[in-house]
Structure 1
Amino acid sequence: MPQEGAREVLKRHFGDDRLLQRLVHRLYSQSGIETRYTVVPDFVFSAAGAAGEPVGGGAFYDAHSATYKAPSTKVRNDLYTAAARPLFKAAAERVLEATPGLGARDITHVVTVSCTGFFAPGPDYFLVKDLCLHPHVQRFHLGFMGCYAAFPALKMARAFCQADPEAVVLVVCAELCTLHMQLGSDLDRLLAGSVFADGAAAALVSARAPQGGEAFELSAFATTLTPVGEADMAWSVGDEGFDIVLSSYVPDILEANIASAVAPLLGAMGLSQAEVQHWGVHPGGRAILDKVEKGLALPAGALAPSREVLRDYGNMSSATVLFVLQKIAARAESGERVCAMAFGPGLTVESGLLTKA
């Protein structure tokens, strides 16, 4: 889904409202995003760039009138149920292919993560079926936590491996954010519609020594709540999809609080910021990256992997930071440290310190 094309289609949707058209143009043009991906067939574009048109023909977009529709939450969740299962499976298969020495039959635990839909039996159950895992594999699902949820999942996985050195934990995050695109004149909805995308990513966590491929040691984790921001980022179930609150104040709140949020993580390991070689920041949006960079006084280019993921994929909620870590893994040298973080409702700041194996 080309960002330029999505911008022009949305401007046409708002007809003669020049104020909204200018706002849409600014939000999409300054987003730092070039491409996003979607499972919604209607949103597949006929061509790249600004000249493309969504194909439409379904419940989300009418190509004849060039207007977006407002399908019910059930319609959206039915598509989630159909599309999420193959995405969870594909992400899991990819990480298994990229991890020498570990196979599907080695997996002892499955942790799935998603905040964009519901069904039961859930994705944890179907991963056991689709990957032919042992039926006694322990299964867990983290739902409705938001963009930071990969960190609780990795913390759970590390705890399982600390308790049982033979454990092999499969963590899979899959988010279908574009299912919940909603239109309106309020800034929160327009901002969310300009950045969120669909995607899936996976990780294998084990106490066993890596036998090849890219790997990190999960050295430490931390979590905190910012003093303000509870009303500035929220996620609830509405009649026409999930309703998001994504205030334009979020970047400023993060700038003011990010240094104090990260300090306990580094302090627990006896490290200073200067001893961290890489920064894996969840690219919730271009302004968030700019403000975190400023709040931590990071050098120019320190967030290049995050900005690349934002450019090429947009904000895929919980899966996004795993995309960032994959890019860093390909560039980091053995022994180099990564400070990773993501943000979500609350405002919650989850962070982790990783060391390249």
Structure 2
Amino acid sequence: MSTFFPSQLSAITFIVQEFFFRILQIFKANHVSLLLCSCLIAYLATFYFKNNHRKVYLLDFACYKPGPECICTKEMFIDRSLHTGHFRDESIDFQRRILDKSGFGQKTYVPESLLRIPPEFSLVEKRKETETVIIGAIDELLAKTHVKARDIGILVVNSCVFIPTPSLSAMIVNHYKLRDNILSYNLGGMGCGAGLISLDLAQRLLQVHPNSYALVISTENINVGWYFGNERSMLVSNCLFRMGGAAILLSNISSDYYRSKYHLRQTFRTHKGHDDDCYNSVIQREDEEHITGVALSKDLMRVAGEALKANIQLLGKSVLPLSEQLKFLAILIAKKFLKKKIKPYTPNFKLAFEHFCIHTGGRAVQDELQKHLDLDDWLMEPSRMTLYRFGNTSSSSIWYELAYCEAKGRIKKSDRIWQIQFGSGFKCNSAVWRALRTIDHTKEKNPWSDEIHEFPVKF
């Protein structure tokens, strides 16, 4: 190691002082130079801090797959609904028609307690359902990543309608004996879009807590969400939602880049709750007989379209090629300022993404999004097959779709993935990922692994 002698140190100090003195003299004599230099420093500082945030990686994720004892065919669903004794004949017929149009197959899952005769809806069964899903998904995730539970520093859990005391996040802390200083959050009442809200929260926390792992859990509870009345707007939820959940492990540790699957590029959140129609489009309330359920408005498709439009305007600025942005801007100007009657231009998002994981809200939602985004059947396949095989698993559905892409061997290094969800409120949320490596589907274990050869199916 070299050493500076006092004479050398004095010489260096003098040179540095002389340099800054002369720079100062130049700026005093030339205010324009001072202003330009200040602007340059401000720009470089802004650019540095904007682009030097901690990167967030997805090490792996796991989707819970219930056992065969939880399989519920369409016929079983109608039979168990009859055995509750709560539904009129016309309500049973209505649910049968909804199932026929749902896009469901014959192997979706409900809690075992709902398949008993008569079905059981106790608090014990509600807890059992959620704990089984959550612990099953986390156990598989920890086995995949070889991360110890005690190393997890951030925990975010979302479940819309089941909010017990102690919370679900506390249940996880207790079961896995997580550390005392864990940052634990439990999100409720945010609908199917809560999965990406949880992801966004975890990402923000990872930006300010270095060298951390964040565990994100997305699930829903079928027991709690079941409606026993006869109002049609509430009966739809019974037909669409099914049992499922996902566990996702994120990291901001730079060395995890080499073993992670994806890099989380950006999240985009849009909230239309200021509009009364949007706010009331999906709402939990009582019917005329004071029975609680979740009502879906007839305006839901229009509301979803408006929320999607607002979300992709944010998204497009960051992900679309310049040529697409210019086309969109030109038509917007022509319509707004030149008062031209021109059909709104939908940007070609196929230029920005190789894969689309679109929320499995139902077959009608999928049809509308396919039309709006001009997606071919291959790009819609993960969403449609997830709805067919697992039903609408609420906030976790997009992870079953990404698992489908992996099981099919579709994910290649540098591929871009767009996850999009809708939720009550009304919200539309997006996440943008880039694959860090090609996923070897022969080595992957996920809910599709043992049956992926059967898909896609035609229905």
> Which TM class, normalised by the smaller chain length?
0.7 to 0.9
Structure 1 residue 14 displacement after superposition: 8.5
TM-score normalised by the chain length of structure 2: 0.65
Q: What stretches of structure 2 of length at least 5 have no aligned partner?
A: 1-71, 325-348, 437-459
State whether structure 2 residue 303 is matched by structure 1 residue 253.
yes
- Please state if 1:164 is matched with 2:225: no
Kindly report the root-mean-square deviation, in angstroms, between the aligned alpha carbons of the 2 structures.
2.7
Deviation for aligned residue 1:11: 6.8
1:6 equivalent to 2:77? Answer yes
Equivalent of residue 56 in structure 1, options 103, 114, 117: 117
Q: Which residue of 2 aligns with 1:303?
A: 380
* Residue 423 (structure 2) aligns with: 344
Q: Which of 89, 107, 115 in structure 1 is aligned with 2:135?
A: 89
Distance in 1 of aligned mates of 2:163 and 2:352: 42
Residues 300 and 259 (structure 1), Cα distance of their counterparts in 2 relative to 1, 3 Å cut: farther
8 Å CA contact 1:165–1:206 kept in 2: the answer is: no
Matched positions, count: 328
Return the letter of the residue paired with 2:137.
A
Q: Give the match for residue 196 of structure 1.
A: 241
CA shift, 1:126, in A, is: 2.2
The change in CA–CA distance for 1:127 and 1:11 in structure 2 (over 3 A counts) is: closer
Code of the aligned partner of 2:155: V
Deviation at 1:125, TM superposition (A): 1.7
Partner of 1:51: none
- Decide whether aligned partners of structure 1 residues 22 and 59 sit closer, same or farther in structure 2, where only a CA change above 3 A counts: closer
- Which residues of 2 match residues 321-340 of structure 1 at below 5 A? 321-330=398-407, 331-340=410-419
Distance 1:137 1:240, change over 3 A: farther
* Residue in structure 2 matching 1:217, options 257, 263, 268: 263
Give the deviation of 1:219 after TM superposition. Answer: 0.8
Does residue 234 of structure 1 match 2:234?
A: no
Counterpart of 2:103 in structure 1 is: 32
- Report the secondary structure of 1:172's partner residue: strand
Alignment of 1:22-171 (within 5 A): 22-34=93-105, 35-41=107-113, 43-44=114-115, 55-59=116-120, 75=122, 77-100=123-146, 102-171=147-216
1:8 CA displacement: 5.2
In structure 2, the CA distance between the partners of 1:138 and 1:253, relative to structure 1 (3 Å rule), is closer
TM-superposed deviation, 1:329: 4.0
Q: Deviations over 1:258-282 (max 9, x none)?
A: 2442231131244461221111111
Secondary structure of 1:295 counterpart: helix
Q: CA deviation at 1:292?
A: 1.0
Percent identity (aligned): 22
What is the CA–CA distance in structure 1 between the aligned matches of 2:320 and 2:193, rounded to whole Å? 24
| 8 A Cα contact 1:224 1:348, kept in partner | yes
- Give the AA of the match of 2:237: A
CA distance in 2, matches of 1:141, 1:337: 29
**8 Å contact 1:95–1:202 — kept in the other structure?**
yes
Which of 261, 264, 287 is 2:314 aligned to?
A: 264
In structure 1, distance between residues paired with 2:79 and 2:222: 20
Find out whether 1:185 has 2:234 as its counterpart. Answer: no
SS in 2 for 1:36: coil
Q: Does the aligned pair in 2 maintain the 1:216–1:355 contact within 8 Å?
A: yes
Task: Please identify the structure whose Cα radius of gyration is greater.
Answer: 2
Secondary structure, counterpart of 1:198 in structure 2: coil
Partners of 1:16 and 1:125 lie apart in 2 by 40
Distance in 2 between residues matched to 1:133 and 1:90, nearest whole Å:
17
How far does the alpha carbon of each residue in 1:15-73 deviate from its partner, in whole angstroms, 9 at most, with x for none? 984x54543332111101123222251x22xxxxxxxxxx314545xxxxxxxxxxxxx
**Amino acid in the other structure paired with 2:149:** A
Unaligned segments of structure 1, at least 5 residues: 45-54, 61-74
Q: What is the letter of the counterpart of residue 24 of structure 1? A: Q
In structure 1, what is the Cα distance between the partners aligned to 2:132 and 2:367? Answer: 35
Change (3 A) 1:25 1:304: same
Structure number with the higher helix fraction is 2
Residues 67-119 of structure 1 deviation map (CA, whole Å, 9 limit, x = unaligned) = xxxxxxxx4x443234323332221111112225x332321111111112122
Q: Deviations over 1:237-286 (max 9, x none)?
A: 89987520112432343245524422311312444612211111110111
2:80–2:117 contact (8 Å) kept in structure 1: no
State how far apart, in whole Å, the 1-side matches of 2:125 and 2:217 are.
19
Does structure 2 retain, via aligned residues, the 8 Å contact 1:4–1:29?
Answer: no
Q: Determine whether 1:276 maps to 2:353.
A: yes
Tell me how far apart the structure 2 counterparts of residues 237 and 172 of structure 1 sit (CA, whole Å): 29
Indicate if the aligned counterparts of 1:223 and 1:351 stay in contact, CA closer than 8 A.
Answer: yes
2:368 matched to which residue of 1? 291
